[in-house]
Amino acid sequence: MNYQRHHLVQTWIAQVGNMLRTALQGELEIEEKSGRADLVTQMDKAVEAYLIDQIHHYFPNDQILGEEGHGHNLTSTQGVLWIIDPIDGTLNFVKQANNFGTMIGIFEDGQAQAGYIYDVMKDDLYYGINGEGVFLNDQPLVPTLDTFLADSLLNINQYHLVGSDPQIQALVNGALGVRGYGSAALEIISILRGEASIYYASRLQPWDFAAGLAIFKELGLKVTDRQGQALDLLEASTVVFASPQVHQEAIQLLNA
Ligand code: 2AM
Ligand code: CA
Ligand code: CA
Ligand code: CA
């Protein structure tokens, strides 16, 4: 494990937390991206720029993929690749001043090395380091998840609340209940806390799933596409995050 890198990332995340909490005391500059619910603020850009500056300074040979424009032309996962979502849940950041996160995944030749998910307003940092375990604020974390979908809360994103895909209806009907936070970071955190045992989301980008993928792998939990196949770190996908048994049930229902 790369302790120098881990300590740097912890310092950067603390700084990002201060930047974001301070920004919420003032005016946000809000722009639309693809539509009214797809927003970007000056803080999404400022946090991404800050993290990229730090990574470039300490690790000049590493590659970086960030939501707000960095590395979108990458075609290879060779070497060290950082995948960054500066604010996950920007709509929550703007509307709720709560329920958003910062996510960082670190990969080497496509293999997960570390994942960080920071719940900014709670000041809770969840991270997993390859071979070292998963931690919440430096305390070891091993979630107890449900064995059966019927006993599980299912987190889903809003695209599944409309439409009539019968397989998704079967998944929803098979679960104990459905929840949605509007932030991939918080949906993943709720599984790490043992609250939900599955998160099903379509149209996730690499920066939405990379950190969670690294943390889940370290816990022996599953993260795949809808067919149960491994994700491509450079491609958007439908994603199923779950405990192994619940994942198997979900993949069966989603492909029946
Ligand atoms: P974001 O806030 O970083 O954009 C709910 O909107 C969740 O889906 C958030 O995690 C959000 O991440 C993600 N998401 C992915 N693509 C999105 C899009 N086109 N519009 C809004 N949210 C999107
Ligand atoms: Ca966004
Ligand atoms: Ca996101
Ligand atoms: Ca984002």
pLDDT by 10s per residue, the chain, length 256: 689 999 999 999 999 999 999 999 999 999 999 999 999 999 999 999 999 999 999 999 999 999 999 999 999 999 999 999 999 999 999 999 999 999 999 999 999 999 999 999 999 999 999 999 999 999 999 999 999 999 999 999 987 777 789 999 999 999 999 999 999 999 999 999 999 999 999 999 999 999 999 999 999 999 999 999 999 999 999 999 999 999 999 999 999 9
- 210: tokens are 């990379």
Say yes or no: 116 and 72 in one domain: yes
Residues with CB under 6 A from ligand 1: 34, 37-38, 67, 85, 88-91, 157, 182-184, 203, 205, 208
Q: Which of 96, 114, 140 is the last residue of a domain?
A: 140
Helix 244-254 vs helix 166-174: crossing angle, to nearest 10: 150
Say yes or no: 77 and 155 in one domain: no
Say yes or no: 64 and 127 in one domain: yes
Backbone angles phi, psi at 35, to 5 degrees: 180, -175
pLDDT for 163: 78
Minimal-distance CA residue to ligand 1 atom 18: 38
Q: Which of 108, 140, 172 is the last residue of a domain?
A: 140
Q: Domain range holding 36?
A: 3-140
Radius of gyration of the chain (CA): 17
Say yes or no: 155 and 198 in one domain: yes
pLDDT for 151: 98
pLDDT for 159: 76
How many A from CA of 41 to the centre of ligand 2?
9
Say yes or no: 228 and 173 in one domain: yes
Say yes or no: 59 and 92 in one domain: yes
Minimal-distance CA residue to ligand 1 atom 6: 182
How many A from CA of 44 to the centre of ligand 3?
10
Say yes or no: 26 and 122 in one domain: yes
Ligand 1 atom with the shortest distance to the CA of 87: 3
Say yes or no: 39 and 111 in one domain: yes
- 81: tokens are 């690749």
Say yes or no: 20 and 132 in one domain: yes
How many A from CA of 38 to the centre of ligand 1?
7
Q: Count Cβ atoms within 10 A of the Cβ of residue 110 and give its class: 0-12 exposed, 13-18 middle, 19 or more buried.
A: middle
Say yes or no: 42 and 92 in one domain: yes
How many A from CA of 62 to the centre of ligand 2?
23
- 7: tokens are 């300590």
Cβ–Cβ < 8 Å for 172, 165: no
Domain count, the chain: 2
- Its pTM surpasses 0.90: yes
Say yes or no: 43 and 121 in one domain: yes
Q: Which of 140, 173, 205 is the last residue of a domain?
A: 140
pLDDT for 196: 98
- 1: tokens are 């494990």
Q: Name the binding residues.
A: 67, 85, 87-88, 208
Say yes or no: 124 and 7 in one domain: yes
pLDDT for 193: 98
CATH of the domain at 216: 3.40.190.80
